[in-house]
Amino acid sequence: MFQISASYTDLYQLTMAQVYFKTKPESEAVFDYYFRKNPFDGGYAIFAGLGNILEILEYLRFTKEDIEYLKIHGFEADFLEYLQKFRFRGTVRSSKEGDIVFPNRPILQVEGNIMEVQIVETVLLNILNFQTLIATKASRIRHSAGNKVLLDMGLRRAHATGGYFATRAAAIGGFDSTSNVKAAEDFNIPGSGTMAHSFIQSYEDELQAFRDFARIRNKNCVLLVDTYNTLKSGVPNAITVAKEMEKSGEQLYGVRLDSGDLAYLAKETRKLLDHAGLDFVKIVASNQLDEYVIKSLEEQHAPIDIFGVGTNLVTGKPDAALGGVYKLSEFNGEPRIKLSENIIKISLPSKKQVFRLIDENGMFYGADAIGLVSEENILKMFHPFDVTKNLELEKFQKEPLLQKVMEKGKALIPKQSVSEIAEFSRKRLALLPEEFKRFQNPHTYKIGLSEQLKTLRDQLVLDRAQ
Amino acid sequence: MFQISASYTDLYQLTMAQVYFKTKPESEAVFDYYFRKNPFDGGYAIFAGLGNILEILEYLRFTKEDIEYLKIHGFEADFLEYLQKFRFRGTVRSSKEGDIVFPNRPILQVEGNIMEVQIVETVLLNILNFQTLIATKASRIRHSAGNKVLLDMGLRRAHATGGYFATRAAAIGGFDSTSNVKAAEDFNIPGSGTMAHSFIQSYEDELQAFRDFARIRNKNCVLLVDTYNTLKSGVPNAITVAKEMEKSGEQLYGVRLDSGDLAYLAKETRKLLDHAGLDFVKIVASNQLDEYVIKSLEEQHAPIDIFGVGTNLVTGKPDAALGGVYKLSEFNGEPRIKLSENIIKISLPSKKQVFRLIDENGMFYGADAIGLVSEENILKMFHPFDVTKNLELEKFQKEPLLQKVMEKGKALIPKQSVSEIAEFSRKRLALLPEEFKRFQNPHTYKIGLSEQLKTLRDQLVLDRAQ
């Protein structure tokens, strides 16, 4: 749907690129993408957006209009000529899309000409931060909803066209379907929808509105029952229509509750439906749902079959953003770090590999080990700051998480469907022990450094501190 | 940048449209756009997004691929043929973009064929809700920042391509410039930017990085001074470069602080700069700023000239969404309301006009009066629910807020630049008394109904309640 031009970036990327162009245009750099804190005070995140990034990077260009526009910022002619021919020809090593990821370890690494890797920073952060946020939110809602059906219906409250990518990420995080037609079409996500209050209001009579809708709707018929009075009018009228449908060999698919006390109304609605012999009619609930409300509804055994989630899903409330960063870790083959007053914010130098430790039961052990990419194996890992803590790694399987997915600007992996990514994510999440998934004070997924990486990092810190 | 297709909608809009197509395709409807609560617990909102909506509505089409895709949802051939020819040919009456708006009164009204006005609901809410949220956030930040310069630098944390529209809305709400090149280009917003930590890290030496940047940068040179140690390294190196620039007849534009205690560091930096005879060098501050942090910095008299705001601006934290709705108020000439258990959620029927009351000093009085569009003048207004309250309106100027901006699908107003809209918004905000602008418990901007409207609404409520 959206053609993203290379000018979808921050102006300072171009200002810096011009300086590189004039002083060291052949320089090579390595940047790490990672975040510092799990979203929603949770115990993990779901990495999403990689597929879009690979497509965007392959086709990224400045348009003629972009180049013309940049003249007013005083860029020089030779640099503008460079931009006109700009292509991204770098290498990307990445975690798999849909994988479970954690703070303060590289999730993706970009390597290539300094100007190229700098210019793509913004779009990369823009797409990965947002989709990772939403996929994680979706995953939390899925955790509360168990096997119930989850429907994304947030487009009207989404951040303009960001809603398109929200739907993609929601599907990766575990949503079954979406109301967003364009995203459903482009990403091959099941589409779904019910009816609006205005439809019923357009009739003098709720029953007639239901009858017309049931007769002419395209697919599964869901009737919205709370326009006037849920239990006195909406549900009884829906039952009348359901019985009429039965006579012509059809089945009413469901009724939707969109206001009031959902637990109470769902229970009363279920009773009325069952009493009418309509135990197959599903109950859809919506209205400001999130992982906490759904958890509460489940704990109350509200007989809801389908949850429709909007605002809280697509805006990633309350966080609204994932603070993913893109930090220089190598420049012309030399390791680089970013210091900080806050020790946890000191970055890790050089090209790295992240190993996920798998325990004897095949489950995620609860820690990742990070080493230099040149290290074939890591036998022992060390706490990043606490010198008293280390762990022998012999007994673990070690799964390398970062794989080359793009080389010289060409994607190396086939384009994955959203459902494939979602399926992979589900399988990976099943390997994560429950204590990392709970909402209250989840367990911290730890990190350890190889001796070589720790020594290098410590040496660079000392060098800079002098 | 973005071509929005008509399938950028919720699936249920199409399902309902098909029912209308089969049962009453010539029906006409009126929908009101409004929200129920000011964002950020504030006292007002800035209406934004209208310009985009008019452009989108003029060109909205289903593509061939959209029609092909919709077949899998079981829509019928004659309806798909209708969609293929679908154009929006309705009428839009609207508040001016950039105007100050308040809850529970129509901000925009769409009128036309029921299928058309239904299909456009989603994109309309999607664009208006988001931009109104962000313009309001920007306006609040502007309120804290006084005449200081405000720079939007949020693209990397924005909701994917929603960031494009966030920048537009931020400019309407009072931001001076943006780092977002594409949005700056398309919306003619001043572009700006500084430098990143990675640029400095790419050098062995901070001073050399500053020198190269100062020599080759395109426009105003701002040096980032917190990569290693702000007061011991960054600022002294910036001063060295500033003095070198002076020798060649140039001036350093500014230094940027991006971490630490900004109030303290700004004061110390100002001292160092002034002591070196560099009182013209500006101080730029960034790092998780919002209206509250900026207010605090201003109260501490932090000598900051330019605030760079990112995440909190472009994501509209903490609200993250404006809950604007689109409610049916008339169907085939008959008034319609939506009932609710919550009295405040009962909608207002029929086509309406909103009058802003202007007091004898030319300021907004603190209340809007709503009447039927057929009423030429309203002499008295009534509290929506409290029968003991009413107000004579003789002494007020009454400014009608809703004007026809689109007729038969053609925009009636010339395309406005973002700077024109921002200028209008600034002037309107100046008419709003201060007590509506404060962050803590702002005054409520009241609402009154004409006798005719109130009588009609009450009658419809009674009819439905029976």
Q: Does one domain contain both A257 and A277?
A: yes
Q: Say whether B218 and A157 touch across the interface (CB within 8 A).
A: no
Q: How far is B4 from chain A (nearest CA, A)?
A: 8
Q: What's the order of all strands across the beta sheet hosting A446-449?
A: A390-392, A380-382, A446-449, A364-372, A352-358, A397-400
Residue of A126, A458, A109, A12 whose CA lies nearest to B199: A12
Chain B interface disruption, residue of A36, A125, A156, A306, most B CBs within 10 A: A156
Q: What is the pLDDT along chain A (466 residues), one digit of tens a residue?
A: 578 999 999 999 999 999 999 999 999 999 999 999 999 999 999 999 999 999 999 999 999 999 999 999 999 999 999 999 999 999 999 999 999 999 999 999 999 999 999 999 999 999 999 999 999 999 999 999 999 999 999 999 999 999 999 999 999 999 999 999 999 999 999 999 889 999 999 998 999 999 999 999 878 899 999 998 999 999 999 999 999 999 999 999 999 999 999 999 999 999 999 999 999 999 999 999 999 999 999 999 999 999 999 999 999 999 999 999 999 999 999 999 887 777 778 889 999 999 999 999 999 999 999 999 999 889 999 999 998 999 999 999 999 999 999 999 999 999 999 999 999 999 999 999 999 999 999 999 999 999 999 999 999 998 877 6
Instruction: Tell me which chain B residues have a C-beta less than 8 angstroms from the C-beta of A311.
Output: 320-321, 323
pLDDT for A203 = 94
Structurally, chain A folds into a number of domains equal to 2
pLDDT for B345 = 80
Q: Does one domain contain both A127 and A150?
A: no
Instruction: Tell me which chain A residues have a C-beta less than 8 angstroms from the C-beta of B316.
Output: 159, 320
pLDDT in tens, B115-158: 999 999 999 999 999 999 999 999 999 999 999 999 999 999 99
Residue of B155, B167, B70 whose CA lies nearest to B119: B70
Note which residues in 289-318 of chain A have CB less than 8 A from chain B.
Answer: 311, 315-318
In A19-101, where do the E strands start and end?
A: 28-34, 45-46, 91-94, 100-101
Q: Say whether B66 and A341 touch across the interface (CB within 8 A).
A: no
Last residue of a domain, one of A299, A314, A329: A314
pLDDT for A377 = 87
A430 in a domain, yes or no?
A: yes
Task: Report CA-CA distances (Å) from B238 to A283, B256, B273, B308.
Answer: 65, 10, 9, 19
Which of B75, B315, B321 shows the shortest C-beta gap to A321?
A: B315
Q: Are A111 and A419 in contact (CB under 8 A)?
A: no
Residue of B204, B279, B266, B292 whose CA lies nearest to B239: B279
CATH number of the structural domain spanning residue A299: 3.20.20.70
Q: How confident is the model at residue B346 (pLDDT cuts 50, 70, 90)?
A: confident
Q: Does one domain contain both A143 and A124?
A: no
Q: Does one domain contain both B30 and B94?
A: yes
Q: Say whether A121 and B184 touch across the interface (CB within 8 A).
A: no
Task: Report CA-CA distances (Å) from A163 to A153, A320, B160.
Answer: 10, 13, 8
pLDDT at B208 over 80: yes
Q: Say whether A328 and B201 touch across the interface (CB within 8 A).
A: yes
pLDDT at B339 over 90: no
Q: How far is B85 from chain A (nearest CA, A)?
A: 18
Note which residues in 93-112 of chain A have CB less than 8 A from chain B.
Answer: none
Give the Cα separation of B279 and A305 in Å (integer): 67
Q: How far is A339 from chain B (nearest CA, A)?
A: 6
Give the Cα separation of A246 and A242 in Å (integer): 6
Which of A3, A118, A182 shows the shortest C-beta gap to B8?
A: A182
Give the Cα separation of A328 and A32 in Å (integer): 6
Which residue's structure tokens are 């079954």? A176
Q: How far is A321 from chain B (nearest CA, A)?
A: 6
Judged by a CB distance cut-off of 8 A, whether residue A196 touches chain B is yes
Residue of A235, A244, A232, A234 whose CA lies nearest to A205: A234
Q: How far is B119 from chain A (nearest CA, A)?
A: 11
Last residue of a domain, one of A286, A314, A342: A314
Q: Does one domain contain both B279 and B324?
A: no
Instruction: Tell me which chain B residues have a C-beta less than 8 angstroms from the C-beta of A1.
Output: 2-5, 8
pLDDT at B278 over 70: yes
Instruction: Tell me which chain A residues have a C-beta less than 8 angstroms from the C-beta of B131.
Output: 160
Q: Which residue of A has its CA nearest to B158?
A: A126
Judged by a CB distance cut-off of 8 A, whether residue B158 touches chain A is yes
Q: How far is A222 from chain B (nearest CA, A)?
A: 10
Chain B interface disruption, residue of A3, A10, A71, most B CBs within 10 A: A10
Note which residues in 240-269 of chain B have CB less than 8 A from chain A.
Answer: 259-260
Give the Cα separation of A151 and B148 in Å (integer): 45
pLDDT for B218 = 74
Q: Characterize the bridge pairing of strands A100-101 and A45-46.
A: antiparallel
pLDDT for B340 = 76
pLDDT for B146 = 97
CATH number of the structural domain spanning residue A19: 3.20.140.10
Q: Say whether A65 and B185 touch across the interface (CB within 8 A).
A: yes
Range of the domain at A198: 137-314
Does residue A398 sit in helix, strand or coil? Answer: strand
pLDDT at B341 over 90: no
Q: Does one domain contain both A183 and A147?
A: yes
B282 in a domain, yes or no?
A: yes
Phi-psi region of A333 (alpha: psi -120 to 50; beta: other; left: phi over 0): left
Q: Say whether A157 and B75 touch across the interface (CB within 8 A).
A: no
Last residue of a domain, one of B238, B262, B286: B286
Q: Are B353 and B372 in contact (CB under 8 A)?
A: yes
pLDDT in tens, B12-59: 999 999 999 999 999 999 999 999 999 999 999 999 999 999 999 999
Measured distance between the N- and C-terminal CA atoms of chain A, rounded to whole angstroms: 52
pLDDT for A194 = 87
What's the token pair of residue B374?
């057929």
- On the CB side of B297, CA atoms within 13 Å amount to 31
R_g over Cα of chain B: 26
- On the CB side of A454, CA atoms within 13 Å amount to 18
Judged by a CB distance cut-off of 8 A, whether residue B70 touches chain A is yes
Q: Does one domain contain both A175 and A269?
A: yes
Instruction: Tell me which chain A residues have a C-beta less than 8 angstroms from the C-beta of B63.
Output: none
A180 in a domain, yes or no?
A: yes
Q: Angle, to 10 degrees, between the axis of helix B11-23 and the axis of helix B77-85?
A: 110
Q: Does one domain contain both B364 and B248?
A: no
Q: Does one domain contain both B326 and B276?
A: no
Give the Cα separation of B370 and B450 in Å (integer): 6
Bond before B318 cis per omega within 30 degrees: yes
- H/E stretch holding A457: helix A451-465
Q: Angle, to 10 degrees, between the axis of helix A162-172 and the axis of helix A418-430?
A: 50
Measured in residues, chain A has a length of: 466
Q: How far is B222 from chain A (nearest CA, A)?
A: 10
pLDDT for A1 = 58
Phi-psi region of A451 (alpha: psi -120 to 50; beta: other; left: phi over 0): alpha
A117 in a domain, yes or no?
A: yes
Instruction: Tell me which chain A residues have a C-beta less than 8 angstroms from the C-beta of B164.
Output: 8, 160-161
Q: Say whether A202 and B27 touch across the interface (CB within 8 A).
A: yes
Note which residues in 320-349 of chain B have CB less than 8 A from chain A.
Answer: 320-323, 326-328, 331, 336-341
Q: Does one domain contain both A273 and A325?
A: no
Q: Does one domain contain both B446 and B329?
A: yes
Work out whether the CA dihedral A329, A331, A337, A339 comes out positive or negative. negative
Give the Cα separation of B152 and B150 in Å (integer): 7
Give the Cα separation of B121 and B326 in Å (integer): 7
Give the Cα separation of A448 and B60 in Å (integer): 54
Q: How far is CA B234 from the centre of its chain?
A: 37
B406 in a domain, yes or no?
A: yes
| Angle value at C-alpha B324, between B323 and B329, nearest 5 degrees | 135
Q: How far is B426 from chain A (nearest CA, A)?
A: 24
Q: How far is B249 from chain A (nearest CA, A)?
A: 18
pLDDT for B466 = 64
Q: Which residue of B has its CA nearest to A115?
A: B199
Give the Cα separation of A381 and A355 in Å (integer): 11
Instruction: Tell me which chain B residues have a C-beta less than 8 angstroms from the C-beta of A156.
Output: 10, 121-122, 125-126, 129
Q: Does one domain contain both A143 and A162?
A: yes
What's the token pair of residue B272?
């160092």
pLDDT for B217 = 83
A431 in a domain, yes or no?
A: yes
A1 in a domain, yes or no?
A: no
Maximum C-alpha span of chain B: 86
Instruction: Tell me which chain B residues have a C-beta less than 8 angstroms from the C-beta of A20.
Output: 202
Q: How far is A30 from chain B (nearest CA, A)?
A: 10
pLDDT for A466 = 64
Buried b (16+ CB within 10 A) or exposed e, A124-142: bbbbbbbbbbbbbbbbbbb
B359 in a domain, yes or no?
A: yes
Q: Say whether B5 and A182 touch across the interface (CB within 8 A).
A: yes
Q: Are B173 and B10 in contact (CB under 8 A)?
A: no
